[in-house]
Structure 1
Amino acid sequence: MLVEEIMKTEVITLPPTATIQQALDLLNQHKIRHIPIIDKENHVIGIVSDRDVRDASPSIFESDEGSNNLQHEIQSIMSHPVITIHPLDFVEEIAKIFYDKEIACLPVVREGNRLVGIVTEKDMLYTMIQLTGTHVQGSHIEIKVPHRPGILPEVTAIFGKRKTNIVSVLVYPSKDDPEYKILVFRIQTMNPLPVIEDLREAGYELLAPNHTAGPLK
């Protein structure tokens, strides 16, 4: 999946000369957490978060003179340079940027660093839900398989014999044995027992569900 498929294209922005008060008003009005700061050519030159604005706002215990802080230009508190991504980047790869950099928002830019969209950590979480198929009613099956070429089509053939629709497949290494992988299937059926029995008969180690009392919801 590409970034352009999940990014928001209607982005609230401010010029660097806008005031902190203006940023505060926009954050509250639109219920957002980040505002990209752009120049006249729509280049991203900074970003401001609700935390930046909150830290710059006067405390309720300060005198009225403290409210003058809100009239300072937003460029005085913006973060820069800004980590940006491209519309044709893969979503799975930018997830690592969110994790490694511990950030909650990534502006999306095209040639010349011109802003065309934005992706937030909430967008990423929703996308992960879609990619894993958990938004679709069905059943979850995990099996442990040898890490060798051709193992995935072998396993999916078992689902195919039952004409079971596979919503999503995840593959990750086994923590206990590097010679094995864990396959996680989301299948569109409320009764996975026939498939589970077929998998066991084929000799695969079932990790979840680890019982056969009924369908897994």
Structure 2
Amino acid sequence: MLVEEIMNKDVITLSPNDGIETALKLLNEHHIRHIPIVDQQNCVVGIVSDRDVRDASPSIFDAPEQPGQLKNPIESIMTTPVTTVHPLDFVEEVAGIFYEQEIACVPVTRNDELVGIITEKDMLYTLIQLTGTNVQSSQIEVKVINRPGILPQVTQVFGKRKLNISSVLIYPYKPDSDYKIIVIRIQTMNPLPTIEDLKAEGYEVLWPHLPGMSP
């Protein structure tokens, strides 16, 4: 899946000279948590979060005669430089950026111009779609030997019953690197016949453990 398939193209932006007060109003009005800061060429020069704005807002303990911090330009609190991604980047790779850099959103740029934005909420929803948990289905975990060609052999068992597969994920089997776990979600609420088929073919089913299943 590509970034352009999940990014939000309707991006709220500000210029470096806009006031912090303006950022606060936009964050509240549009119920967003981040605002990219762009120059006249629509190039990203910074980014501010709701936390940045909150930290820059005056405390209730401030003296009334003190000048309001909210009048300061947004460039005084924005984060720069900004990590960006391209619309044709893979979502899976962008997820790694979120994790490694511990960030909550990334602007999307093409030829240095802002074209979209991705938030951690977008990433979470995409993960739900990729795992198939957004549709009614049953999850089956199969322990298999780690060798080329094993995946089509396992899915062939599902094909015999003409089941629709929602998603396929592969995890390492931590106790023994010679094995891995294939997690398959199928669109049926009764996975028992398929589980019995898998066991008849010699595969070890780790999940689910249902009443009436043969060992």
TM-score of the aligned structures, taking structure 1 as reference length: 0.96
Task: Write the letter of the residue equivalent to 1:202.
Answer: E
Q: Which residue of 2 aligns with 1:199?
A: 198
Unaligned runs of 5+ in 1: none
Pairwise CA distance, 1:66: 4.3
Pairwise CA distance, 1:63: 1.6
2-structure distance, mates of 1:212, 1:4: 45
1-structure distance, mates of 2:168, 2:188: 15
Q: Deviations over 1:81-133 (max 9, x none)?
A: 0000000000011000000000000000001x110000000000000000000
Q: Deviations over 1:35-57 (max 9, x none)?
A: 00000000000000000000000
- Aligned partner of residue 78 in structure 1, secondary structure: coil
Q: Percent identity?
A: 66
Q: Which residue of 2 aligns with 1:139?
A: 138
1-structure distance, mates of 2:39, 2:16: 7
- Name the count of aligned residue pairs: 213
2-structure distance, mates of 1:66, 1:90: 49
Change in Cα spacing, 1:8 to 1:160, as seen in structure 2 (3 Å) is same
Moved over 4 A (4+): none
2-structure distance, mates of 1:65, 1:169: 62
Q: Which residue of 1 aligns with 2:48?
A: 48
* Deviates further, 58-67 or 183-192: 58-67
8 Å contact from structure 1 (residues 193, 212) kept in 2: no
- Aligned partner of residue 181 in structure 1, secondary structure: strand
1:80 and 2:87 are equivalent in the alignment? no
Change in Cα spacing, 1:67 to 1:187, as seen in structure 2 (3 Å) is farther
Q: Which residue of 1 aligns with 2:106?
A: 106
Q: Which residue of 1 aligns with 2:28?
A: 28
8 Å contact from structure 1 (residues 58, 66) kept in 2: no
Task: Write the letter of the residue equivalent to 1:192.
Answer: P
Alignment of 1:160-175 (within 5 A): 160-175=159-174
Task: Write the letter of the residue equivalent to 1:50.
Answer: D
2-structure distance, mates of 1:166, 1:93: 24
Task: Write the letter of the residue equivalent to 1:166.
Answer: I
Q: Which residue of 1 aligns with 2:182?
A: 183
Q: Which residue of 2 aligns with 1:5?
A: 5
2-structure distance, mates of 1:167, 1:212: 24
Q: Deviations over 1:133-183 (max 9, x none)?
A: 000101010011000011000000000001111110001111111011110
8 Å contact from structure 1 (residues 58, 67) kept in 2: no
Q: Which residue of 1 aligns with 2:124?
A: 125
Unaligned runs of 5+ in 2: none
- Aligned partner of residue 64 in structure 1, secondary structure: coil
TM-score of the aligned structures, taking structure 2 as reference length: 0.97
Task: Write the letter of the residue equivalent to 1:62.
Answer: D
* Deviates further, 200-209 or 125-134: 200-209
1-structure distance, mates of 2:31, 2:82: 22
